[in-house]
Structure 1
Amino acid sequence: MKEASMRRLLLSLCLILILATSAISVGCGGEEGLSLVTASVGGDVYLAGVSLGEVLNRYGPVTVTPEASTGSARNVELLEGGYAEMALLSALDTYEATHGVAPRFEKNHAYSVVMPGHMAAFYRIVREDSDITTMADIKGSGARIWPYEMTRKYGGVWLADLNALQKYYDFTDDDLTAISYYTLPDMIDALKEGRHDLLSYTLGVPNATITELVNDVDCRFISIEPDILEQICEDNPYFFPYTMEAGTYEGQDQDVHMVAYVYFLIVKNEVDEDLVYDLAKALYEHYDELTAIHPLMKDYSLDHIDRNTVAPWHPGVVKYFKEKGVWTSELETLQNKLLAEVQ
């Protein structure tokens, strides 16, 4: 088992190195290039971003540079600061930014959707020797879980999740011990070494990093009770309930109930219509190459365009959809509704 685990680890590291090298090497496109902000290195959002970048740099009209960031909420700031033209944003951030939802946003941000992407679910993982068996055990525990100061600063899905758990499990920030690290590799290392009490992080299912973690250390997945999960998703319509079936990971002998949501590839409205048309065409017409780079890219498909109910499509994407014959009257109606909402 250890040899197999080591082989999987080496393969995962090689993939991250290859993709990271691609992300660095494509940054030489000059003023005509575009920046695509993602999330922390090693996570699914980062891997999705560099996968998109690899295909766009093979078939697209300009150089696209994927960049690591601290995540979706931070990406909105990077877009507004002029550091990027494209981003991977959670459904919540996509909706709230484009609709100017207070108190986070004082205005409607001019972004449009290029494509809906992969699903992410909130993992809750403890070491097998942990005293935490349910989320109710957090109250009064002083557990090292969230970088909650950063979470409250940037908001987004992590804050929505934290607020929901505090509401239904009756704990506050005072029940937690603040941590200063927030990247997935740092959290994984800390959990392995006993410096972190519960890993709470959003990733796809399954995920190679989690596979390696549970192979290296005896772990336990913490489930959200179905009735509480239903309430959380009713309160936060950008979330939906997801059940990770037993056996997804080694030692996981029960279903795990999780909070989940979808990511979107978005672009600033100011990016030229013909350019975005070419970007959309490059991505949608090279689906097989996307999925060959990483399996989570299976969701980046024409088959899933109906998942976008949160923000308008960019005119360049609409042009491509009409050319492909997939633009329906239902999509037109929704597009007009969303355009009216974000004016």
Structure 2
Amino acid sequence: MKLTLKSTLFAAAALLAPIAAQADDFFSIGSCPVGCTAYTWSAGIADVINKNIAGVEATAEETKGYVANIKLLQDEEIEASMATTLSSYEAYAATGPYEGGEPGKILSWMAIAPVGMHVIALEGGPVNTLADLKGKRVGMGQPGGVSMLDANVLMEMVAGDDFEAFRVRLGDMVDMLSDGNIDAALWNGSFPLPPVIKLSAQRDVKLIPISDEFYADLSAKYPPYFRLAIPGGTYEDVAADTPTYGLANGLVISADVSEDRVYAMTKAIFESLDDLAGVHPAFGRVTKETVLNGFGAPLHPGALKYYREIGVPGIEEFVARVGEK
């Protein structure tokens, strides 16, 4: 018999049955390696579900990251996961890196915190606008990471294949930029980025702004991206707000989870946001106004029912735009 994540969990529960009563259902939330922010978020949400939903055994599952999470969802190894809103949109539509998967299987649930695209360069260097990236040496992020997928989208639109890509993690990109081995670094992440703070203490850093024209073209092709700005003062050398775009880090969920179960979990999470803010401050910024941020795939019907009930602003416009499952 092939051992999978889910079959392993059920086997472990069976072994423990004489000691503790088994839950009616297991609910696994894919996150990232232990210690990363998404794991902290997932663990906090699992705790809320366990305290408020009878008959459910929720667990935060350590995974290799967001790309792996989508694969686990597609393979029915987990029921929900952390993902960016772009990856959730592509997974729902079975396009991009998820081409060949089953469309409609993975639905939107809840946006938690934004990530912003950083186009990082040095004062006095050759990159002053997005157009300057053409023909340059560009740090893109490591293979398998969602930030690299975002960098691919940006560079495809700006330069086609006329650039030299360096696919390494953010810390290495920052070192390469400092040493003059690349001309710019791209990273879509929650700000401030600690490696960029470190770089700004050593070199004069600048962030390249994203124009309205570029964003209009981008959002027409990739609806999950939304407009935002990296506030001035986030990094020592960047005094003014930098217009850019981003995605939301958020929860996505299998369409196979029942409407009643998702309604109850969504309600429990929303009514526990103050407690969750003690787990991680990002939950303190989750509101009715932010919960749909960046999503381009339909909501799970259970989440949609709750959001309608509490009057999430723009919910009907959202349904009209992305459809209803």
TM bucket normalised to smaller: 0.7 to 0.9
* Residues 91/300 of structure 1: CA separation in 2 closer, same or farther (3 Å cut): same
Q: Determine if the alignment matches structure 1 residue 137 to structure 2 residue 129.
A: no
Structure 1 match to 2:19: none
Q: Is the 8 A contact 2:232 2:241 kept in 1?
A: yes
Matches of 1:112 and 1:47, distance apart in 2? 22
Q: Counterparts in 2 of 1:1-343, with a 5 A limit?
A: 30=12, 33-38=26-31, 46-60=36-50, 61-71=56-66, 73-101=67-95, 104-106=98-100, 107-128=102-123, 130-141=125-136, 143-146=137-140, 157-166=150-159, 171-172=160-161, 174-179=162-167, 181=168, 183-191=169-177, 195-208=181-194, 210-215=196-201, 217-307=203-293, 310-318=296-304, 320-321=306-307, 325-326=309-310, 331=315, 335=319
Letter of the 1:313 counterpart: L
* Residues 231/186 of structure 1: CA separation in 2 closer, same or farther (3 Å cut): same
Which runs of no fewer than 5 residues in structure 1 stay unpaired?
A: 1-26
> Hey, which of these two has a bigger chunk of helix by percent?
1
Matches of 2:121 and 2:43, distance apart in 1? 34
Higher relative contact order (CA 8 A, sep 6+): 1
* Deviation of 1:80 (Å): 1.6
3-state secondary structure, aligned to 1:310: coil
Letter of the 2:74 counterpart: E
Matches of 2:153 and 2:143, distance apart in 1? 14
* Residues 57/239 of structure 1: CA separation in 2 closer, same or farther (3 Å cut): same
The C-alpha deviation readout for 1:207-239, integer Å capped at 9, x for no partner, is 555434433544222223443333333343322
Letter of the 1:251 counterpart: D
> Hey, which of these two has a bigger chunk of strand by percent?
2
TM-score, normalised to structure 2's length?
Answer: 0.72
* Residues 241/100 of structure 1: CA separation in 2 closer, same or farther (3 Å cut): same
* Deviation of 1:64 (Å): 1.9
TM-score, normalised to structure 1's length?
Answer: 0.69
Matches of 2:111 and 2:276, distance apart in 1? 14
Q: Is the 8 A contact 2:29 2:60 kept in 1?
A: yes
Q: Is the 8 A contact 2:224 2:247 kept in 1?
A: yes
* Deviation of 1:108 (Å): 0.9
Q: Is the 8 A contact 1:211 1:250 kept in 2?
A: yes
Letter of the 2:30 counterpart: V
Q: Is the 8 A contact 2:43 2:59 kept in 1?
A: yes
Structure 2 match to 1:22: none
* Deviation of 1:122 (Å): 0.6
Matches of 1:190 and 1:30, distance apart in 2? 46
Matches of 2:299 and 2:283, distance apart in 1? 20
The C-alpha deviation readout for 1:126-170, integer Å capped at 9, x for no partner, is 2446433333333333x1412587689x9954433232222xxxx
Matches of 2:11 and 2:150, distance apart in 1? 33
* Residues 249/81 of structure 1: CA separation in 2 closer, same or farther (3 Å cut): same
* Residues 321/257 of structure 1: CA separation in 2 closer, same or farther (3 Å cut): closer
Matches of 2:188 and 2:294, distance apart in 1? 20
Superposed CA RMSD: 3.9
Matches of 1:290 and 1:337, distance apart in 2? 31
Matches of 2:165 and 2:148, distance apart in 1? 19
Q: Is the 8 A contact 1:92 1:156 kept in 2?
A: no
* Residues 251/90 of structure 1: CA separation in 2 closer, same or farther (3 Å cut): same
Matches of 2:84 and 2:320, distance apart in 1? 22
